[in-house]
Amino acid sequence: MNENVILDVRHLQKGYRKAPVLKDVSFQVKQGHILGLIGKNGAGKTTLMKSILGLNTKYQGEIIFHGKKLMPSDETMKAEIGSLVDVSFYDDMTAYQNLKVIMMLTKAVPTAEQDERIRELLSFVGLESSGKKSVRSFSFGMKQRLALAQAMITKPVLLILDEPFVGLDPIGMEDVKELLRKLCRENKTSIIFSSHQLTEVCDLADDIVILNNGVISYANTYENMKSSGLSFVELMRQEGN
Amino acid sequence: MSLTQIIKTELYKNSHRKSSLILFLPMVLTVIVTLGYAQGVIELNLITGGSGTYSCMDFVFIVWNVLSGLGILGILMILFAALQFSGEIERGQIKFMLLRTGNRATVVWGKYLATVMVTVVFIAGTLFVSIVSYYLFLSGSSIGTGTFASTIDGFSTMNIWGSIALQIIVYLFLTGVTFLAGMFVNPFVTFMLTLFVMYAINYLAGAENRISRLLPNYWSSQMALNKTVQAIPVFTSVVAIVVLTLMLLSVTIMLFQKQDIK
């Protein structure tokens, strides 16, 4: 395996109640790269992300992370993966308290450093003045920023983000894109993100994977895709094989 | 992730969530009931000693009967437990734990034990508030004796504590029921189903048969009715309900290990 590859998904298959959702998905993510995952609604993007995160069980195939098979029981590996997939906060608690709850569940941040790390994260996502506000009073965009903050609690080497730009205003989108680029550049964090906002995908992704009807219908670098003159919409319309 | 870490996190969460405030309702009701007695707005109908007045434990027993007899305590405890597991599965908040914890069994155990701890603390708090309320509002009045021990004919203080403790054990079983039901249905249906189980158990406990004698609340009622009870059948009923609770939790864990999370 290429040493640069941080995540290697091999022949992943997953269905719900005998209805197959992922039929045979294989792809790799390189260290410090941003992979844009694109597909129509119901293509299997969220199922794929949840399988990598261990939220889905009984899937077939292999997921290799850092050269080792990713096991749902491996907490050290789990701490190296941050995620934003259908995040639902405790609305009746403050942003600070929500992050504190998540922080208490990991050994990656020592207790003495937790408060400082929460302040850092809130500032990083532009919520430093809203830490003591109840999440119930947050706009959707603010919740997205908080969700991004919780994904980065453990300083993960891999970030899995499902629709991270939904609900963000244009400035918010630019901020998040810049933040993700910074993570890649400075920390060599690898990122998988799904999005229906194709402009953001073009702006951000190094690699493109198009998921269609449970299979990958296209996978290439964004540069190659652009130079070949292919359009996202055309590729998304193609039926998976 | 250790069990202790999950319990600590759950206790932190429960102590900061506004929804946990519902557990203070029995304490508030206790104060209202005490004030009602003190003002003569509420009449007492419990058999008293010769003097027609009430000691602290007599009053604690009255308050307990009002709160548990009407199902107020049970309803609140079931609602709280339903929100802890079923509610978090439904809303997806359980992901915070599953994304960090390697063993789902630890999550179920941690959540169950934390729920039980909170339940017991709030019940103890309610009993404490009823004791304090008695001394604040009733002990010096014409219906208060000012003493602690039970004065009801032939009724010991131990009888009262025993009756309450047996009822609490049933609540812990009902918490297990909410966890199992929560695997299949949403929090509201979980709440309704467990409520049905609670009333079914209470109905059974009121009957005289072999099954009812296996229920701790049957013996709780016997103690409350001032009947003589033997230690062995009481102990057997406690063991039976603990075993049943462990079985419920084992099935919950088994199913939860295989469940895809929303």
Q: pLDDT tens digits, residue range A1-20? A: 555 899 999 999 999 888 89
Name the DSSP letter for residue B261: P
- Give which of B4, B7, B91, B260 to mutate to test A binding, by max A Cβ within 10 Å: B260
Give the dihedral sign, CA B182/B184/B189/B195. Answer: negative
- Considering only CB atoms, B102 lies closest to which of A16, A75, A97, namely A75
CA atoms within 13 A on the CB side of A186: 8
A239 — pLDDT class (breaks 50, 70, 90):
low
Q: pLDDT tens digits, residue range B91-149? A: 999 999 999 988 999 999 999 999 999 999 999 999 999 999 999 998 888 888 889 98
Residue type, position B29, single letter:
L
Hey, are the CB atoms on A72 and B1 less than 8 Å from each other?
A: no
Hey, are the CB atoms on B9 and A101 less than 8 Å from each other?
A: yes
Averaged pLDDT for residues A115-143: 93
Residue type, position A103, single letter:
M
Residue type, position A85, single letter:
V
Note whether A130 and A95 are within 8 A (CB): yes
Sheet order of strands, A158-162 included = A68-69, A60-65, A5-16, A19-30, A215-221, A207-212, A34-38, A190-194, A158-162, A81-84
pLDDT of B48 reads 55
The residue extents of the domains of chain A are: 1-80+157-167+188-241, 87-155
Secondary structure string (H, E, C) spanning A46-113: HHHHHHHHCCCCCCEEEEEECCEECCCCCHHHHHCEEEECCCCCCCCCEHHHHHHHHHHCCCCCCHHH
Give the dihedral sign, CA A107/A50/B257/B119. Answer: positive
Which residues neighbour A102 within 8 Å (Cβ) at sequence distance 6 or greater? A150, A153, B96, B100
Averaged pLDDT for residues A101-114: 90
A196 — pLDDT class (breaks 50, 70, 90):
confident
pLDDT of A237 reads 75
CA atoms within 13 A on the CB side of B38: 16
| Residue A94 buriedness (CB in 10 A; 0-12 / 13-18 / 19+) | buried
Domain that holds residue B65: 3-258
- Give which of A46, A48, A55, A158 to mutate to test B binding, by max B Cβ within 10 Å: A55
Chain B residues close to A53, C-beta within 8 Å: 99
Note whether A6 and A65 are within 8 A (CB): yes
- Considering only CB atoms, B262 lies closest to which of A78, A83, A86, namely A86
Note whether A13 and A24 are within 8 A (CB): yes
> Per CB distance under 8 Å, which residues of B are interface residues toward A?
1, 5-6, 8-9, 12-13, 16-19, 91-93, 95-103, 257-262
Average pLDDT, chain B: 91
Name the DSSP letter for residue B54: B
> Per CB distance under 8 Å, which residues of A are interface residues toward B?
16, 50, 53-58, 71-75, 78-79, 81, 83, 85-90, 92-93, 97, 100-102, 104-107, 150
Nearest Cα to Cα of residue A52 among A15, A86, A10, A17: A10
Q: pLDDT tens digits, residue range B63-83? A: 998 898 888 999 999 999 999
How far is the C-alpha of A37 from the C-alpha of B148, rounded, in Å?
A: 70
A26 — pLDDT class (breaks 50, 70, 90):
very high
Averaged pLDDT for residues B34-45: 80
Chain A residues close to B8, C-beta within 8 Å: 104
Hey, are the CB atoms on B96 and A102 less than 8 Å from each other?
A: yes
Look at strands A81-84 and A158-162 and give their pairing. parallel
Give percent of chain A with pLDDT exceeding 70. Answer: 97
| Beta-carbon pairs below 8 A across chains A and B | 79
- Give which of A13, A22, A70, A101 to mutate to test B binding, by max B Cβ within 10 Å: A101
Note whether B229 and B223 are within 8 A (CB): yes
Question: Shortest Cα distance from A104 to chain B (angstroms)?
Answer: 6
Hey, are the CB atoms on A101 and B258 less than 8 Å from each other?
A: no
CA atoms within 13 A on the CB side of B173: 24
0.90 cut: is pTM over it?
Answer: yes
Chain A residues close to B100, C-beta within 8 Å: 75, 78-79, 102, 105-106
CATH of A1-80+157-167+188-241 among 3.40.190.10, 3.40.50.300, 3.40.50.11540, 3.30.70.3420: 3.40.50.300
pLDDT of A107 reads 83
pLDDT at B45 over 70: no
Number of domains in chain B: 1
- Give which of A88, A106, A107, A133 to mutate to test B binding, by max B Cβ within 10 Å: A88
Q: pLDDT tens digits, residue range B206-250? A: 888 889 999 999 999 888 887 888 899 999 999 999 999 999 999
